[in-house]
Chain A
Amino acid sequence: MKNFILKRLLLSILVLFGVILITFIITRAIPSDPAAQWAGPRATAEQIKAARVELGLDKPLYVQFGKYIQNLLKGNLGYSLKTHQPVATELKACVPATVELVLISTIAAVFIGLPLGLISAKRKDQWVDHLSRFFSVGAVSLPTFWVGIFLQLLFYSWLRLLPMGDQLSMNVRLMYEIPKITGFITLDSLITGNMVVFKDALLHLILPGITIALYPIGLVARMTRSALLEILNEDYIRAARAYGLPERIVLWLYALKNSLGPTVTVVTLSIGYTLVNTFLVESIFSWPGIGNYVATAVVSLDYPAILGVTIFSAIAYVVLNLIADIIIALDPRVRI
């Protein structure tokens, strides 16, 4: 087991290095002049020349890459070409918002998707099953941007029930001290007992949360259903039923537990997908997370910012993959 984890860890580092190298080369291969960007839209030739030296862009590419890696190890991701602020600082400011969204939708995926799949499997080919399958297929296939805009129209413009976007409403932001402990607004306001902020933050989470959660919910529901159906035909389930154990116990204790393996893998991997999906959703809901951040960076070819987000996403992906691998490895039936 130890060897397995070690091997995986080394492999992950290799993957990360590859990602950084490729992204670095791609962002440099795009015809654009970072020095001109740094200097601003109406800079003179001298200003651009000075910026080139300031940014070290006058050095050969491999020297620049070496310098970048060296800085990276110190936690320095360089400076944004647009804002002239450290990328690490900017990322630190917007990562919690994204993580909050990803977490809430993952929790929803488990707590809604799992029971849905379970009911579906239990009542196979009955109307509940059809309905649940209809829902999960829809959830997986509806385009995110459509769902987001539709939910805004429905709950904000027509029903006037939920806020349009952002993490807090303007009034709350202006009138209350927004606690900053962990950076997660919901958590921080809960810790400090600021219920007005907490309630407001929670309300703001609903629409983007649902929009993002739909896909993993559908995925988990379908996965659970098919895994359960397979297991429900196994001999030991038949044996359990023959012993006269109540169906609930059979289903929850014997069947579900044994079908969890693939579901857990799917959930872990779908977090990676969700992270990327937030990029679009954050744009729709003006959510101040990394998706919103990178969207601006991409349009303006702000390569240090793009690299920063890529590295963050790559690390998240690699770590999640690692966790998924380890979870599978923990199953005694799987031989490593």
Chain B
Amino acid sequence: MRKFIKAKSWSMLVIVSLVLSLIVSGCGGGASNNNGSNGAKQVFFFAWTSTPFTDLDPSVENSNGIVPLNNMYETLLRFIPEEKKFVPILATDYSKSKDGLSWTFHIRKGVKFHDGTDLNAEAVKFSFERTKKLGKGAAYILDPIKEIKVVDDYTVEFKLSYPAPLDLIVASPYAAFIMSPTAVKSNPEDWFTQGHEAGTGPYKLESFVLGQEIVLTKFDEYWGGWEGKHFDKVVIKKISEPTARRQMLESGELDFTQDLPYEDIEALKKNSNLVVDISPSYENLIMLLNTDKKPLDNVLVRQAISYAFPYEDVVKYAAGGYATQSKGPIPSGMWGHGDNLFQYKHDLDKAKELLKQAGYPNGGLKLLLVYTSGDEAEKKTAELFKSELAKINVDLEIRGMPWESQWEMAKDKDPNKRQDIFVFYWWPDLTSPYSFLYPMFHSQKDILFNLAYWENPEFDKLVDKGAEQSATDLKKAEEMFIKAQEILVKEAPAIFAYDKQYIRVYNKSIKGYKSNPAYPNVIFVHEIYREN
């Protein structure tokens, strides 16, 4: 019995002390803010819903990884879309031949890679050749490059096989990074993928947890210098729960986030400690219409349903008001956007009449729309569209599918098994209208993204010519791209739903941030700082 009492009191003691210690220690720790407690180190903490990167290879990654990669690596130029201007980064200046086939870049002197190698013309040549040779990710943007010549230590010349805007290409957020040749040559091919880097950027890779987070730390010998206020470390983390991110932002633990539900944004706007930054993006919601199959092979039917689409409601309810109705496929704010382009309005009478002309006086059509399951905005858009189409007696079946399955269906060998309407977001790999018009609407032998299966020789010609022109004369190129879009809008192989807006929410203490839609979601951390 004595033994028993002892055991009991002992276990009670353990329980009580455990509970007490938890409570006591809980009061001390917990929700700490990263401002003060880590002394001199300034840490920038960014969290969003996606994994921080899929591949760390700068020649390969064309997904979320461009956010950390653009802080570890640099490109020759950076594009500032509002001013249609290029900022010199690793190139100090450049010139091009009249025909746009030969481009010469002068490379910045005194730049070091993170592994100590010096940047020179050879390294630039090596980087582009590696990316082109691997042929993965967005490497196809380098297709026009025929040959790269090292003129002297700090001059490099690009020979193109056809005219192309090489300045835009080398400023691309993907596939245009310059990397240390020494590091690549002295390591196995998958060295980057295994978790290494060798860039010239302001931050080096410190650590990462696959699929969860990546930590960058400052590169002391960065050519841009560290005078003034800068962050010492950058943490990019996946926190999928929006409620978690919102609460961490409100408590001051998190510095910066995006992709919060629209409902939360209104509430966060009232929080005086936070900044809600709404800015245009180059991303839009597009519904490609299957022009290869009845009934959407008839242009009148396509125009009819373009009139039946509830543009305003979709912007208001599906995009939470954080979008604008598209005018053609090129987002507003980007060069090549046609301000005077025809824009469909929601008009059911017009839709009915067009259907009548097309030989469907009583409607009676059945259409299948596929969207990526889990995407609330796409789902709401589809539902709003369905209820409008029902009013003109068109039955729309909505099917949410994983992206891969949606993709599979669109590529089915039997055209009759494909969808009628394919909903997706589009954004450019290269800040050029070409990056919208070519992949989605140019005729293709092997269909990749032309999921409207649309072909129009006149349109093709205008786009090809526009691309050539953009090497030498952006203005002329723009005219051609707009002409091409006039055909597009008339032929209606797609419904151009809305241009998305970015909604970023960040702590008020973060200064110097400016969204650059040419680099989707990238925060150039060296340019921002914290003001306490």
Contacts and interface: CB of A to CB of B under 8 A. Distances in A.
Interface of A: 30-33, 36-37, 39-45, 47, 82-85, 90, 93, 111, 149, 152-153, 155-157, 160-165, 169-171, 173-175, 199-200, 202-203, 206, 246, 248-249, 252-253, 283-286, 288, 292-293, 295-296, 299-301
Given A156-B31, A162-B26, A286-B244, A93 B407 contact: no
Contacts of A83: 54-55, 210-211
Nearest to B43: A174
Nearest to B374: A299
B446 A174 contact: no
* Contact size range, B: 35 or more
A249 B4 contact: yes
A319 to B, nearest CB: 27
Contacts of B55: 83-84
Given A30-B405, A40-B63, 9 more contacts: A33-B408, A41-B63, A44-B140, A44-B446, A83-B210, A157-B247, A174-B41, A295-B240, A299-B402
Nearest to B12: A115
A111 to B, nearest CB: 7
Contacts of B31: 156, 160-164
Interface stretch (B131-139, B459-467, B468-476): B131-139
B238 interface: yes
A37 B405 CA distance: 11
Given A162-B31, A200-B29, A283 B404 contact: no
Contacts of B137: 40, 42
Contact of B54 (A82, A90, A175): A82
A199 B29 contact: yes
Contacts of A174: 38, 41, 43, 215, 233, 235
Contact of B30 (A162, A165, A249): A162
B43 A170 contact: yes
Contacts of A161: 26-27, 30-31
Given A156-B31, A203-B29, A246 B209 contact: no
A40 B405 contact: no
A299 B375 CA distance: 12
Nearest to A199: B25
Contacts of A155: 30
B50 to A, nearest CB: 9
B532 interface: no
5 contacts: A47-B135, A149-B243, A286-B237, A286-B244, A301-B402
Contacts of A33: 404, 407-408
A315 to B, nearest CB: 22
B62 A203 contact: no
Interface in B458-497: none
A170 B62 contact: no
Contacts of A296: 51, 211
Given A164-B253, A199-B25, A283 B240 contact: yes
Contacts of B186: none
Nearest to B401: A31
A160 B30 contact: yes
For the complex, would chain A's binding face be called helix, strand, loop or mixed by DSSP majority? helix
Interface in B434-467: 446, 448-449
Contact of B402 (A32, A93, A153, A284): A32
Given A156-B247, A170-B45, A203-B25, A248 B4 contact: yes
B239 interface: yes
A63 to B, nearest CB: 22
In the A-B complex, the 5 residue pairs with the smallest Cβ-Cβ separation, listed nearest first, are A32-B404, A45-B446, A31-B405, A157-B247, A160-B31
Contacts of B212: 286, 288, 292
A288 B209 contact: yes
Contact of A152 (B240, B244, B403, B404): B244
A32 B372 CA distance: 13
A162 B32 CA distance: 9
Interface in B30-57: 30-32, 34, 37-38, 41, 43, 45, 51, 54-55
Contact of B37 (A85, A171, A203): A171
B22 interface: yes
A93 B446 contact: no
A178 to B, nearest CB: 9
Interface string B166-203: 00000000000000000000000000010000000000
A31 B60 CA distance: 26
Interface string B199-232: 0000000000111100100000000000000000
A160 B251 CA distance: 9
B244 A164 contact: yes
B292 interface: no
B409 interface: yes
Given A40-B136, A152-B243, A90 B34 contact: no
B193 to A, nearest CB: 6
Given A44-B448, A93-B210, A169-B32, A203 B26 contact: yes
B407 A170 contact: no
A171 B32 contact: yes
B367 interface: no
A126 B458 CA distance: 87
A161 B45 CA distance: 21
Nearest to B51: A296
B255 to A, nearest CB: 10
Contacts of B265: none
Interface string B104-121: 000000000000000000
Contacts of A283: 240-241
A203 B29 CA distance: 8
A171 B30 contact: no
A206 B22 CA distance: 9
A249 to B, nearest CB: 7
Given A42-B62, A162-B30, A174-B215, A111 B43 contact: no
A152 B407 contact: no
